Amino acid sequence: MIAYYMCFGLFFVGLYGVITRRNLVKIAISLSIMEISTFLFFALIGYIDNGVAPIVNPADPDKIYVDPLPQTLVLTAIVIGLATTALLMAVIIRLYRKYKTFDIREINELRG
Segment 70 to 89, residues that bind other proteins, using CB under 8 A: 70-76, 78-87, 89
Q: Is residue 96 a contact residue for other proteins (CB under 8 A)?
A: yes
The nearest distance, CB 22 to other proteins, in angstroms, is: 8
Beta-bridge partners for 103: 23
Of the candidate residues 60, 62, 99, 101, the single one contacting other proteins (CB under 8 A): 101
**CA atoms of 68 and 72, how far apart (whole Å):** 6
The nearest distance, CB 67 to other proteins, in angstroms, is: 4
Per CB under 8 A, which of residues 31..60 are in contact with other proteins? 32-33, 36, 39-40, 43-49, 51-58
What is the torsion angle, in degrees rounded to the nearest 10, for the CA atoms of residue 58, residue 59, residue 60 and residue 61?
A: 40
Q: Is residue 103 a contact residue for other proteins (CB under 8 A)?
A: yes
Q: Is residue 28 a contact residue for other proteins (CB under 8 A)?
A: yes
**CA atoms of 33 and 13, how far apart (whole Å):** 8
The nearest distance, CB 23 to other proteins, in angstroms, is: 5
- 31, 14 Cβ separation under 8 angstroms: yes
In the chain the first and final C-alpha atoms are separated, in Å, by 51
